[in-house]
Chain A
Amino acid sequence: GAVVSQHPSWVICKSGTSVKIECRSLDFQATTMFWYRQFPKQSLMLMATSNEGSKATYEQGVEKDKFLINHASLTLSTLTVTSAHPEDSSFYICSARGTGVANTEAFFGQGTRLTVV
């Protein structure tokens, strides 16, 4: 299957700082990327959908000014958690679809575990 690489795999930051998470498609062009958040022992909740070259579409209840998403190229999307607070501590995971890959599977990154102290 296609490979999606997410970095970093874990990060600890101080309250009030910003954290950037990268999601890269390594062997295909990702026209659409999805960002999910998962709190401990809960399911994945979609935060936003980003299409290359256009603004992200955020799900209801997700603050777009706090969770900045950039999808400037066909292989890279970034999620920046701005002015992070302890309640933002969570597992963030991206998935991608694109050209030249099967449409019956969503390809996920490895996830990023964010801890805000």
Chain B
Amino acid sequence: AQKITQTQPGMFVQEKEAVTLDCTYDTSDPSYGLFWYKQPSSGEMIFLIYQGSYDQQNATEGRYSLNFQKARKSANLVISASQLGDSAMYFCAMTPGPGAAGNKLTFGGGTRVLVKP
């Protein structure tokens, strides 16, 4: 069984500053995929970034980067230069095996981020 833990239920961040959202995971699968999603108040799930367990480099997508530390089983999300529109709920998730193809996502409890002007 897979388990995702997000220890920060909520946090404030000043506009234009960087913020790190913590995510730790537990799995016995030899390969897996790690994801971060953003959920604004409208409810839609917005894909942010993906990291495969065998990827050598940390994933980056624009202002989002994933700090993947395999030995520590952590996959923290870093948002640089925070914007007011970044205020939302953020979920870390994982799948057994690479990618999301055919595999169900297991979600963490989420972290609510509020960006202050």
Contact = CB atoms under 8 A, between A and B. Distances in A.
Interface stretch (A21-29, A64-72, A81-89, A91-99): A91-99
Contacts, number: 61
Contacts of A104: 33, 50, 52, 98-100
Given A43-B108, A104-B52, A32 B99 contact: no
A34 B37 CA distance: 16
Interface residues of B, number: 23
B87 to A, nearest CB: 15
A107 B2 CA distance: 21
Contacts of A45: 107
A34 B45 CA distance: 13
Interface residues of A, number: 25
A95 B43 contact: no
Nearest to A91: B43
A18 B83 CA distance: 42
A110 interface: yes
B32 interface: no
B100 A103 contact: yes
Given A93-B43, A103-B101, A111-B43, A44 B107 contact: yes
Contacts of B115: none
B104 interface: yes
Given A95-B105, A105-B47, A110-B44, A43 B110 contact: yes
Contacts of B91: 43-44
A-B CB proximity, top 9 nearest: A103-B101, A103-B99, A108-B45, A106-B100, A111-B43, A104-B50, A43-B107, A104-B99, A44-B107
Given A97-B100, A102-B99, A108-B47, 11 more contacts: A34-B105, A42-B109, A43-B108, A44-B107, A46-B104, A46-B106, A103-B99, A104-B50, A106-B100, A107-B47, A108-B37
